[in-house]
Homo-oligomer: A and B are copies of this chain.
Amino acid sequence: MREERYINKIVQFYRERKRMPSYGEIMKLLGFASKSPAFKFVQKLIDQEILKKDRNGRLLPSRLFYSVRVLGAVEAGWPSPAEEELLDTMTLDEYLISNKEATFMLTVNGDSMKDAGIIAGDLVLVERADKAKDGDIVVAEVDSNWTMKYLRKRGKQVYLEPANSKYKKIFPKEDLKISAVVKAVIRKY
């Protein structure tokens, strides 16, 4: 379909130039000799709510422009082309990062959180915080060592628990300073 090819060209422009094209640029992109077909085409997309505009008339990138298509579960297999239209899409940054200023990434060493699915080499997205809930995975300083473990609260007793039976729970002798809470784990192959 022609409409799809056109949209793809615009998406491609956005990915390369990191901004939406102007009508003049869309004109060149789609091979028109004047701006009005470009304008009409964009207007159609806006009517279909595929695109939106600024209050200044500038185009806004929609989900289409950065997102990954989300399929169902592995077991469900691959969707047919007919189903494909219904797929949700999302951008990883928006999905994973709620508070950019306080978010950092750390790399993981060791296997002490293995049973929680966190293994050496993984990246963890953490958000700075000095408090955390029971059961959260936290980055903390205990007796002047840095570590990442489950936080456990049992009444007034607070301790850290690894997710690997090879390691023991850590009961802080002096103090336990939580410095971040793990919000996400990312592993790239």
Contact = CB atoms under 8 A, between A and B. Distances in A.
Interface of A: 15, 17-20, 54, 58, 60-61, 66, 68-78, 90-93, 95-97, 100, 103-109, 114, 117-119, 122, 124-125, 136-137, 139, 141, 145-148, 179, 182-189
A106 B185 contact: no
Contacts of A54: 17, 19
A147 to B, nearest CB: 7
Copies of this protein chain in the complex: 2
A77 B188 contact: no
Given A74-B109, A74-B146, A104-B70, A184 B182 contact: no
Contacts of A119: 117
Given A15-B100, A17-B54, A105-B69, A186 B185 contact: yes
Given A19-B60, A107-B72, A146-B75, A183 B179 contact: no
Contacts of A183: 188-189
A109 B69 contact: no
Nearest to A52: B18
Given A60-B19, A61-B18, A68-B125, A73 B106 contact: yes
Instruction: Please name the 10 residue pairs, one residue from A and one from B, whose CB atoms are nearest each other, closest first.
Output: A77-B146, A117-B119, A185-B187, A92-B92, A70-B105, A74-B148, A184-B188, A117-B117, A73-B107, A92-B93
A73 B122 CA distance: 10
